[in-house]
Amino acid sequence: MTASLQSAVAAPVKPAIGFLSIAAPAYNEEDGIATLLDGWLDHLRRCRQIERFEIVVCNDGSRDGTGALLDAKARETPEVRVIHLERNRGAAVALATAIGQTRGEWVLLIDSDGQFPIANLETLISAVAASNGLAAIGVRTVKRDAAFARFGSWASGAICNWLHGSSYRDFNSALKLVHGPLLRSLHLEARGLNYSTEITSKLLERDVRPIEAEIVHVRRARGRSSLKALRGAFDRLLFVAYIGLRQLLLRLRILERRQPCS
């Protein structure tokens, strides 16, 4: 073996991400939050694509033991930080609160219901590393949601794609990896479960085109979704209409279009 080959074999692989933050909302996840966090921690500690990490969870005014379980995990694990909202304000506010407390070079947005396995992280990291991009969207090739929710996601995604002139297969996916300074600079306005749509839309407003990466989506194993079908569909309809109005105002230069952070 030549000296140069020996050197190449011996040289450690530099992680793609120096400091990763995970931002997640949590509401009434007492049945599974401790197991979920243990799984995240185990995977992140073994992940060779990151140097260090933190997990920031916002407890959205849970009425069960979610907050106490999160506090217990934070006391024993320095990588876990918890923010508590005094009352339930919706997933979007909880996620925005968690994002505001992140410090990482990159931020992984993920739900705390276990439907997005943490192993999807490597797929997203590889996507942004290969493209030198600022964001990646996890594409659910097989969605494990109920039929009504799948139809609503497809319909709103199709309209948002039309408004932005894009063609994303999963515009509303909640699993995203975004450059930290860019994500923290977005002014997020959504309430409820429309945050995933808003983040994709506002990235596109900044002329940031997220890379698509196919990921695994699983059925919710425990707990229950906070989505109330009819109210959620009505809220989604109104929010998509708002996105359409925003795009019109931006094109007419009534609203200012901000540039992406470097």
Percent of the chain with pLDDT over 70: 90
Give the contacts of 148 (CB within 8 A, at least 6 positions apart): 229, 233
> What pLDDT does 10 receive?
45
For residue 142, the enclosing domain spans 14-149+169-218
pLDDT average, residue stretch 176-184: 98
Say if 246 falls within a structural domain: no
With 60 as the cut, is the pLDDT of residue 6 above it? Answer: no
Residue 21: Cβ within 10 Å count: 24
d(CA 105, CA 77): 21
* 84-138 pLDDT, tens digit each: 999 999 999 999 999 999 999 999 999 999 999 999 999 999 999 999 999 999 9
d(CA 69, CA 203): 34
**Mean of the per-residue pLDDT values of the chain:** 90
> What pLDDT does 257 receive?
83
The closest alpha carbon to 95, from 196, 17, 226, 171, belongs to 196
> What pLDDT does 229 receive?
63
Q: Are 107 and 23 in contact (CB under 8 A)?
A: yes
Say if 145 falls within a structural domain: yes
The per-residue b/e assignment along 217-246, b for 16 or more CB within 10 angstroms, e otherwise, is: beeeeebebbbeeeebbebbeebbeebeeb
With 50 as the cut, is the pLDDT of residue 231 above it? Answer: yes
- 34-38, 72-76, 211-215, 252-256: least confidently modelled range: 252-256
Say if 193 falls within a structural domain: yes
Q: What is the CATH number of the domain that holds 205?
A: 3.90.550.10
> What pLDDT does 65 receive?
96
- Amino acid at the residue 7: S
> What pLDDT does 227 receive?
53
Residue 100: Cβ within 10 Å count: 14
With 70 as the cut, is the pLDDT of residue 182 above it? Answer: yes
Say if 176 falls within a structural domain: yes
Q: Are 44 and 38 in contact (CB under 8 A)?
A: no
Token pair 């930080």 in the structure block, residue? 81
Say if 58 falls within a structural domain: yes
Please state the pTM of the whole predicted model: 0.89
> What pLDDT does 7 receive?
43
Higher per-residue confidence, 3 vs 219: 219
Collapsing DSSP to helix, strand or coil, 177 comes out as: strand
Say if 245 falls within a structural domain: no
* 243-254 pLDDT, tens digit each: 999 999 999 999
d(CA 22, CA 104): 8
Number of domains in the chain: 1
d(CA 60, CA 142): 28
Can you say whether residue 225 is alpha, beta or left, with left for phi > 0 and alpha for psi between -120 and 50 degrees? Answer: beta
Say if 253 falls within a structural domain: no
> What pLDDT does 261 receive?
64
The closest alpha carbon to 25, from 83, 91, 74, belongs to 91
* 155-170 pLDDT, tens digit each: 999 999 999 999 999 9
Say if 160 falls within a structural domain: no
Length of the chain: 262
Collapsing DSSP to helix, strand or coil, 6 comes out as: helix
